Amino acid sequence: MLQGQINRKEKVMPFVNFGPRRFGPRHHVINFKGDLDRLFEEFFGAPQEGDDLGDFSPRTSIEDKPGAYVVQLELPGVHKEDVKLSFQKGRLYVAGEKLPDTEEKSSYLRNERIFGKFARSFQFPDNVNPDKIEATFENGLLTVSIAKAVDVKEPNVEINIK
């Protein structure tokens, strides 16, 4: 079969990614992995629906701001109702599930979307106030703000020597 022709028997169409390539300290490894993936797809065929492409694990950032720690998790395609948050013993727990859009079986030419359950946890220093944690979920971005505890400073007291 010619490159670029649709394999009607398997209903898989070769995919060539003309998107931007990654640059940075690890770009050679990332690009090499992509090249290997394409080589294996050409030899063994593209992954079919249901093949394990990996677990869904949200990308995360944690900022140390003056009054709080701010955690952001990218959760595209996840509904707010499918996310659970808890804070115990200085650790933030985030768990949920990314569900498929539809229950009916479709005939995909290519499906690289990942669904499933996820769970992450993050340990914080002792200087947090667990009573002042706020969370928002907007446009697929979960933002959790964990207030820092107000430092109790001892007053400067001059002590007279007798």
Contacts of 142 (CB under 8 A, 6+ apart): 58, 72, 73, 75, 83, 94, 135, 136
CB 73 within 8 A of CB 132: no
Per-residue pLDDT reduced to its tens digit, 20-78: 555 566 666 667 777 777 776 666 555 544 444 457 789 999 999 999 999 999 999 89
**What one-character-per-residue DSSP string does 9-25 give?**
TTTB------SPPP-ST
CATH numbers and ranges of domains, the chain: 1-46 (no CATH), 53-101+109-148 (2.60.40.790)
CB 115 within 8 A of CB 56: yes
Cα→Cα distances 9→21, 65, 126, 142, Å: 32, 56, 60, 42
Biggest distance spanned by C-alpha atoms of the chain: 100
Enter the pTM of the model.
0.59
Confidence tier at 99 by pLDDT (50, 70, 90): confident
